[in-house]
A and B are shown apart, each in its own frame.
Chain A
Amino acid sequence: MRVIKMPGEEIKLDRIEEFLWEIPKQGGMRVPGRIFATEKLMSGLKSDNSLRQVMNVAHLPGIVGYSLAMPDIHWGYGFPIGGVAALSIDDGVISPGGVGYDINCGVRLVKTSLVFEDVKDRLGRIVDTIFSLIPAGVGSEGAIPKLSKQDEKRLLRDGAGWAVRAGYGRNEDLSYMEEGGRLAGADADLVSDRALERGLKQVGTLGSGNHFLEIGRVEEIYLPQTADALGLFAGEIVVLIHTGSRGLGYQVCEDSLKVMNKAMANYRIELPDRQLACAPIRSPEGQDYLASMAAAANYAWANRQVIMSQAEKAFMQALGIGPKELGFSLIYDVCHNIAKIEEHVVDGKKQMLCVHRKGATRAFAPGHPQIPAAYQDIGQPVLIPGDMGRYWYLRVGAAAAMEKTFGSTCHGAGRMMSRAQSKKQSQGIDIDQEMARRGVVARYRGRGTMAEEMPHAYKDVADVVETMELAGISKRVARFRPVGVVKG
């Protein structure tokens, strides 16, 4: 038994295993809470409200199993970031807060045929070219020819497939994304005019805050056969792209929260935090949210597809090489803010569940039918970005994920310092020099954002993934080191 003292309350936790803690069912909780964290990470949790949020999520009608928290957990809006909740599609609810404002914020990893040693002297040129082709930062727009509203609706319907048909990337890329880069239930007519307006000019843009495009090199390989199957070798240059559905997704979330807030009274749902606003999955409001969330998710897949294609052009331009020599190829694209309808085994029985992953990544085990054929033996690739100065990891899903977390794992390092604190600590630091000291060529729009995003503001991602390794939820495949970064 561990007691966490927080301002105004005490939370008691049972230690189930070295890396697993449980908050017993109490009060209005329908299920217990379970937190995956090592001792080191758990001691950091008492300084924010995330444990209380795990308990609040357990109040949701129709929640199955546990209200789960991944080791990178920190407090968010209603749901903690790093939260996973599975709800029965028959009598459960869907909650936009369990997806997040940035619907289908996610990451994709692209391999190349390049070796770091061969291009390290030209990294500045590569990063500059990427910076010129991929708009980043506030007000960034105009990456691709302006869309008509009709085009945009097609994009919302077809997701990454729209981008491929428009000439960005290749058809085979679609096999290496969740859902083939398109959720079929999307309804673009449910997306408000304001959301459409916000999305019109932002396709192919990176955004700001913690979004980035990173060039990395493979620093260490832990599972050689798996790395081989993924096309990874030591010293290889790879590209990591982190962004989501931009202003459109935000607006869809905002519009949906308004609807859900009103609907709660109709369905007589009472929750301890209004940001858990929800409606039964089978209700018109629930179905409408699923359909508009899908549209926003499709926007994000199209966005990442366009950005990947632009990055490929940038590499070719900067190095004066063609596509074959470059060998740009998508390894996998994962979502970390989304709700999915999935079949899971609960107490020995198959059940259809709506799995909310907010700041959490799907991690299906080998043999799962939704993993690409080429990865059936190794499991679903999982990308865990760190901060922009330290390492990050590629992992694969394992059997324990299906048993313990509805096929889910963490999503990244997680912040441990407020933006104001980070800025303070960044004062007097020459950002370019600091990044260069870490071996990273950085190009960015806003010094302010960089100051807020410096490595000192983040947890060590190694601690986060250690928990998942101990729990057997995912297996580490390779570690990467950033060598170039583009930020808004």
Chain B
Amino acid sequence: MNEDRGTFREIEHTADLGIEITAADLPGLFAAAGEGLFSLIADPENIDPRDQVAVSAVGAGPEELLHAWLRELLSQFNLDGFVGKTCVVERLTDERVDGIAHGETLDLSRHRFRTEIKGVTYHDFKVWQENGAWHARVIFDV
């Protein structure tokens, strides 16, 4: 569904980590945000997308939905140590998102672990449209 891959970049924060995401459409934004989150946990370069995890989330509107989506992805890591390499959004409505994360369980001997992300905060959290593109900013608790 998302042909156009969005991009993300890290932003500075005193005690924690954040990302800003840009994409041509909302599905692209959600996919890139998920990949951005996982990239803060471990370097995607040596993650093998051997496993697939179906992830769904509900929320009222794109902001709530994105927050819920990221929380669901993060819980895959927190509960099962799953780290995604790529995220694909299969279905996105005003209130629900369904997607798949491709990755594997974190293996400290093979993967370049970066940081243990503990939570998705609402700090400075924003989803907005500008010049025809979608943007989002999220700060994660470390």
| A→B interface (CB under 8 Å) | 48, 74-78, 81, 101-102, 137-139, 194, 197-198, 207-209, 247, 250-251, 253-254, 257, 274-275, 415-421, 445-446, 448-449, 452, 488
Minimal beta-carbon separation of A257 from chain B (angstroms): 8
Q: How far does the alpha carbon of A250 sit from the alpha carbon of B75 in the complex, in Å?
A: 11
Minimal beta-carbon separation of A142 from chain B (angstroms): 13
Q: How far does the alpha carbon of A274 sit from the alpha carbon of B15 in the complex, in Å?
A: 20
Q: Answer whether A81 and B15 are a contact pair too, CB < 8 Å, given A198-B78, A209-B142, A449-B115.
A: yes
Question: Hey, which chain A residues are within 8 Å of B81, CB to CB?
Answer: 139
Contact B14 A75, beta carbon cutoff 8 Å: yes
Closest to B112 in A: A448
Question: Hey, which chain A residues are within 8 Å of B91, CB to CB?
Answer: none
Contact B118 A250, beta carbon cutoff 8 Å: yes
Top-4 shortest CB links A-B: A138-B116, A208-B116, A418-B12, A275-B122
Choose one: B12, B79, B118; the contact of A420 (CB below 8 Å). B12
Choose one: A101, A138, A446; the contact of B141 (CB below 8 Å). A101
* Interface majority SS (helix, strand, loop, mixed), chain B: loop
Contact A74 B14, beta carbon cutoff 8 Å: yes
Q: Would you give the 0/1 interface string for B76-112, flagging 1 where the beta carbon is closer than 8 Å to chain A? A: 0011010000000000000000000000001010000
Q: Answer whether A194 and B116 are a contact pair too, CB < 8 Å, given A417-B14, A419-B17, A419-B142.
A: no
10 A-B interface contacts by CB (under 8 A): A74-B15, A77-B122, A77-B123, A78-B123, A81-B15, A138-B108, A250-B141, A419-B13, A419-B16, A419-B142
Minimal beta-carbon separation of A413 from chain B (angstroms): 12
Number of B interface residues at 8 Å Cβ cutoff, please give it: 26
Contact A194 B75, beta carbon cutoff 8 Å: yes
Q: Would you give the 0/1 interface string for B59-72, flagging 1 where the beta carbon is closer than 8 Å to chain A? A: 00000000000010
Question: Hey, which chain B residues are within 8 Å of A250, CB to CB?
Answer: 78, 118-119, 141
Q: How far does the alpha carbon of A77 sit from the alpha carbon of B119 in the complex, in Å?
A: 11
Q: Answer whether A415 and B15 are a contact pair too, CB < 8 Å, given A101-B141, A138-B106, A247-B78.
A: yes
Q: How far does the alpha carbon of A250 sit from the alpha carbon of B116 in the complex, in Å?
A: 13
Q: How far does the alpha carbon of A207 sit from the alpha carbon of B10 in the complex, in Å?
A: 24
Q: Answer whether A77 and B141 are a contact pair too, CB < 8 Å, given A275-B122, A418-B12, A419-B17.
A: yes
